[in-house]
Amino acid sequence: MTERMGQQSFWRFGVCVLLAGALWLMPIPADLPVRGWHVFAVFIAVITSFILRPYPIGAMVIFGLVALTATGAITIQEAMSGYGDPMVWLIVAAFLLAGGIIRTGLGRRLALLLVSRLAKSPLGLGYSICGAELLLGPVVPSNTARGGGILAPIVRSLAEALDSYPTRHPERAGTYLALVGSHANLITAAMFLTGMAANPMVAQAAQAVFGVTFDWGTWALGSVVPGLVGLALLPVFIFLLAKPTLTDTRAAQAVARRELEEMGRWSRGEKIMGIVLPVLLLLWVSKPLHGMHTTLVAWIGVSVLLITNTEKWQDMVENDKAWETLIWIGGLLTMARSLKEHGFIDWFAQDVGVWFTDVSGITVVLIMALIYFYSMYSFSMLSAHIAAMGTVFLAVALGAGAPAMLTVAIFAYFSNLCGCTTNYSTGPVIIYFGLDYVSPRRWFASGFLVSLYHLAIWLGVGLIWWKMLGWW
Amino acid sequence: MTERMGQQSFWRFGVCVLLAGALWLMPIPADLPVRGWHVFAVFIAVITSFILRPYPIGAMVIFGLVALTATGAITIQEAMSGYGDPMVWLIVAAFLLAGGIIRTGLGRRLALLLVSRLAKSPLGLGYSICGAELLLGPVVPSNTARGGGILAPIVRSLAEALDSYPTRHPERAGTYLALVGSHANLITAAMFLTGMAANPMVAQAAQAVFGVTFDWGTWALGSVVPGLVGLALLPVFIFLLAKPTLTDTRAAQAVARRELEEMGRWSRGEKIMGIVLPVLLLLWVSKPLHGMHTTLVAWIGVSVLLITNTEKWQDMVENDKAWETLIWIGGLLTMARSLKEHGFIDWFAQDVGVWFTDVSGITVVLIMALIYFYSMYSFSMLSAHIAAMGTVFLAVALGAGAPAMLTVAIFAYFSNLCGCTTNYSTGPVIIYFGLDYVSPRRWFASGFLVSLYHLAIWLGVGLIWWKMLGWW
């Protein structure tokens, strides 16, 4: 078995290598710098590997960097430069903060508090989950940690308290709650720069390709209206798709109260975390006033947790998700940057621009947005989708002369919302689906309807809001 | 207890903060750029914290970077830039490779093979340990992993096989073997750029301050003669200091043979590792021929281990030592670089240079070398010593107009050899001392004699050899 897996991964790896080789050796257009094309060849192979998965994506990114450096397409300094980018370290800090929120128990307590207050009816239960997502969204920057680590276990225990199990009465509450939890997670992921681990990649790409600074405040400003509308209507919308047969959910409320009692009084760690997080939010939002970089603010937060012994250094060092993400996001950033620096993006945008001379930039962006959204069906990871399709999306929009801010906004928000389509799109979705309250068929069907729901809101309310902001 | 420790660390932290504050606010010379001085203030506080240890050094480096960035002394881009330096990633790759050598069992097998061949007498046993250190030195780039992880456990089981225990007959063999193991480890650490985790910091500083490229081959070229002499005479020298009362050690040989039998035939992982490591060595040595950067070569090695499934990605991701080292070495590198870029080093060197107008550069280097060597008494970590005293050492040498290559060579080798002085200088020394065969008093006494031994060889044979190389 392991032997065969080893062989399989070796063959799938071979496909990626052949792809890179074939592209590399192709005759290339005269007006395209050779290095740009070589970076593109390796980049495409790495992205393909994210779908074929011969090796974990961190390993594949390393292979890509090694291949580019060994062939002289880029220098070792260039290859490592992504790891010195503040955006990458924002992501690392985000994982370290998220670890603290889980370990201190603050995230769990907040969610239970909301449930114990709001959850008299199934709809109230749905709102309490959305509320918890909204509270934790900006400060638990791994959506997997938030949805999968904090909320999914609570959703499960609530459903079970209502005598709703995958094999017995899933319709009573479990189906509804799993769908609400999963889709709410993606909305809050979309709403904040720190809502999903790879979001800073979007901000970085926006800067690199369009020269647009899409920082914490800008990101949240653009999402606040469509995001809140989407979150506020979600429990009702899912209610229409998967109406729970229960009407009285006070049993779940009682469970939340009991679990809160078991947690006892607020620990020192929870209190400190409860002060640090709002301060971080405040500093992120008020950047125009003090000018402190989003990354610096995040590391100030990490420092305070360390100085007050709220978090132990060893726990941070053992946060392997943080380091794995550092490796692959830093490397991808290098490649994306090299695509730009070695002229590929501009060449591509210019070439594409020729096709769109008769079409308005807005039209192109909206068409590309739909393609971008639904291309998520072929990805099993939001971040891989961003890395792979995002570059194309931005380059085409650039070529078509689309309004920069609008393009970046749609890119940013759709990068997360598109996770609604499948049951394998991102960590928390996989975990919520794994609770087993929803059949795959039903997940896909409702996912498609939710995708229309998102498009209606973000291209309806959203476009109006962004017009008001002067983004197009 | 924990509470008190928390308070203690808080006070010791306060001392560091006060120190930084006091330096920061001091009136500074007119010819020194203000930023350079501010970086220096924080740098000194961070280094002081390495001695006081209010928090783990990784945490302290983060606090330092945060302080420098929050005060505007450096930008966030500058603060993170150290993490994009190839030298830092050489260290990370080194830890990942070391993990593989331990996990596959190759390191253990090589050491046992040598013992089973050479260990008829105590002296032979000593030579087998030195041989194993020499074999593993260039490729197990964490001296703690090599000495503490691979060799110390073997030394212990050999001593016990010879009926030598800390409480019963330590003199029979244990005392001798622990001293040989510990000091041999420091010699091989000195001999190779990849012999100790922080050695690339030395190379980086050499480049930054002197513009000297002290890469793998150059490093080894300078150390090969004094290093081999030192290693060859060490078992005899320690024999004079701590003569084992046993003369026949074939019982240890038998144990090594039995353990080899238990290991069975070479595993696939050991074989692959046994091919990859010599190839890496070859590529490191032959850099002038192919031009591939030391870091690139190391990552090629990591890639091969991953592609062949010799090492699992997850094992690498969970190598927390690698990530901890990344954090603090990357951050220190940033600070050291900022000292240089913001004019502090040049100012210091110029100022110091005035004192030495009547003294030859060589004399200054030799005096500084002794100060550098014995200042290790106040440090509990080789890397912290390098970071703290290395900057001063190089800056003074620069100011005194000392020959660059000679200065860098002495800096490089002494940075490791100086660990002989105490029983708390570096991981493997602590572990060998912890075997409990040697009293603290005896460790210090023999350590001082070994320091004279090193100085005699490296300033005797070494200086001649470096003269022949044209390094002064």
For A130-160, how does the pLDDT look when each residue is reduced to its tens digit (9 = 90+)? 999 999 999 888 899 899 889 999 999 999 9
Position B1 confidence tier, pLDDT thresholds 50, 70, 90? very low
Q: Could you give the CA distance from residue B109 to residue B334 in angstroms, rounded to a whole number?
A: 39
Q: Could you give the CA distance from residue B130 to residue B184 in angstroms, rounded to a whole number?
A: 6
Q: Dihedral of CA A100/A101/A103/A105: which sign?
A: positive
Probe site for chain A from B323, B329, B334 (most A CB atoms < 10 A): B323
Contact status, residue B332 vs residue B61, Cβ threshold 8 Å = yes
For B375-409, how does the pLDDT look when each residue is reduced to its tens digit (9 = 90+)? 999 888 898 889 878 877 888 888 888 999 999 99
For A27-44, how does the pLDDT look when each residue is reduced to its tens digit (9 = 90+)? 988 888 999 999 999 999
Q: What do you get for the CA distance between the two ends of chain B, in Å? A: 55
Please give, rounded to a whole number of angstroms, the shortest distance from the CA of B423 to a CA of chain A. Answer: 24
What is the DSSP track for A398-467?
HHTT--HHHHHHHHHHHHHHGGGG-SSSSHHHHHHHHT-SS-HHHHHHHHHHHHHHHHHHHHHHHHHHHH
How far is CA B264 from each of CA A383, B119, B260, rounded to the nearest angstrom? 44, 21, 7
- Give yes or no for A91 touching B (CB within 8 A): no
How far is CA B223 from each of CA A280, B84, B190, B447, B466, rounded to the nearest angstrom? 51, 29, 8, 21, 9
Q: Dihedral of CA A207/A213/A217/A218: which sign?
A: negative
Is the pLDDT reported for residue B45 higher than 50?
A: yes
Cβ contact A293–B76 (<8 Å):
yes
User: B-contacting residues of A 325-354, CB under 8 Å?
Assistant: 327
- Give yes or no for A323 touching B (CB within 8 A): yes
pLDDT, mean of each 10-residue run, chain A (472 residues): 64 94 91 92 91 90 97 96 93 89 90 90 94 92 89 92 93 95 98 93 89 93 98 97 91 91 94 94 92 94 95 93 91 89 87 78 90 90 85 85 94 97 93 94 96 97 97 94
- Give yes or no for B380 touching A (CB within 8 A): no
Structure tokens at A80: 């490592």
Predicted TM-score (pTM) of this structure: 0.90
In chain A, residues with a C-beta closer than 8 Å to the C-beta of B80 are: 84-86, 88-89, 295
Helix/strand/coil (H/E/C) assignment for every residue in A93-148: HHHHHHHHHHHHCHHHHHHHHHHHHHCCCHHHHHHHHHHHHHHHCCCCCCHHHHHH
The whole-number pLDDT of residue A5 equals 59
Residue of B nearest to A67 (CA): B300
Residue of A nearest to B11 (CA): A307
The whole-number pLDDT of residue B369 equals 93
The whole-number pLDDT of residue B3 equals 54
For B101-117, how does the pLDDT look when each residue is reduced to its tens digit (9 = 90+)? 889 999 899 989 999 99
In terms of Cα–Cα distance, which of A143, A160, A130 is closest to A256?
Answer: A160
How far is CA A114 from each of CA A309, B331, B371, rounded to the nearest angstrom? 28, 41, 63
Q: Could you give the CA distance from residue B274 to residue B272 in angstroms, rounded to a whole number?
A: 5
Structure tokens at A114: 């909301």
Structure tokens at A307: 């100085």
Using CB atoms, pick whichever of A9, A300, A306 lies closest to residue B59.
Answer: A306
Using CB atoms, pick whichever of B76, B309, B322 lies closest to residue A296.
Answer: B76
In terms of Cα–Cα distance, which of B178, B187, B124, B120 is closest to B151?
Answer: B178
Please give, rounded to a whole number of angstroms, the shortest distance from the CA of A116 to a CA of chain B. Answer: 34
Kindly state the DSSP code that residue B149 receives in the 8-state scheme: I
Please give, rounded to a whole number of angstroms, the shortest distance from the CA of B154 to a CA of chain A. Answer: 28
The whole-number pLDDT of residue A295 equals 94
Q: Could you give the CA distance from residue A422 to residue A426 in angstroms, rounded to a whole number?
A: 9
Using CB atoms, pick whichever of A9, A63, A292 lies closest to residue B303.
Answer: A63
Q: Could you count the other beta carbons within 10 Å of the beta carbon of residue A462?
A: 24
Is the pLDDT reported for residue B2 higher than 70?
A: no
Cβ contact B66–A296 (<8 Å):
yes
Cβ contact B83–A86 (<8 Å):
no
Q: Could you give the CA distance from residue A414 to residue A376 in angstroms, rounded to a whole number?
A: 10
The whole-number pLDDT of residue A6 equals 65
Using CB atoms, pick whichever of A83, A299, A317 lies closest to residue B83.
Answer: A83
Cβ contact B82–A84 (<8 Å):
yes
- The mean pLDDT value for B427-437 works out to 94
Is the pLDDT reported for residue B54 higher than 60?
A: yes
Structure tokens at B143: 């001296």
Q: Could you give the CA distance from residue A9 to residue B162 in angstroms, rounded to a whole number?
A: 48
Residue of A nearest to B315 (CA): A320
For A443-461, how does the pLDDT look when each residue is reduced to its tens digit (9 = 90+)? 999 999 999 999 999 999 9
Q: Could you identify the residue written with the tokens 């974990």?
A: A56
For B137-192, how does the pLDDT look when each residue is reduced to its tens digit (9 = 90+)? 998 888 998 998 899 999 999 999 999 999 999 999 999 999 999 999 999 999 99
The whole-number pLDDT of residue A216 equals 94
Burial (CB count within 10 angstroms: exposed 0-12, middle 13-18, buried 19+), residue A236: exposed
Structure tokens at B159: 């001593």
Using CB atoms, pick whichever of B70, B84, B317 lies closest to residue A300.
Answer: B70
Structure tokens at B271: 């074989």
What is the DSSP track for B170-239?
GGGTHHHHHHHHHHHHHHHHHH-TTSSTTHHHHHHHIIIII-----HHHHHHHHHHHHHHHHHHHHHHHH
Contact status, residue B433 vs residue B182, Cβ threshold 8 Å = yes
Using CB atoms, pick whichever of B84, B317, B327 lies closest to residue A80.
Answer: B84
Instruction: Tell me the three state secondary structure of residue B358.
Output: coil
What are the start-end ranges of the E strands in B361-457? none
Q: What do you get for the CA distance between the two ends of chain A, in Å? A: 55
Mean pLDDT (chain B, rounded):
92
- Give yes or no for B9 touching A (CB within 8 A): yes
Instruction: Tell me the three state secondary structure of residue B34.
Output: helix
Position B4 confidence tier, pLDDT thresholds 50, 70, 90? low
Please give, rounded to a whole number of angstroms, the shortest distance from the CA of A343 to a CA of chain B. Answer: 22
Which are the contacts of A238, defined by CB distance < 8 A and separation ≥ 6?
A: A126, A176, A179, A180, A183, A446, A450
Angle at B471 between CA B470 and CA B472, to 5 degrees: 90
The whole-number pLDDT of residue B340 equals 86
Cβ contact A66–B300 (<8 Å):
yes
User: B-contacting residues of A 289-318, CB under 8 Å?
Assistant: 292-293, 295-296, 299-300, 302-303, 306-307, 309, 313-314, 317-318
- Give yes or no for A55 touching B (CB within 8 A): yes
In chain A, residues with a C-beta closer than 8 Å to the C-beta of B79 are: 86, 296
Contact status, residue A339 vs residue A388, Cβ threshold 8 Å = no
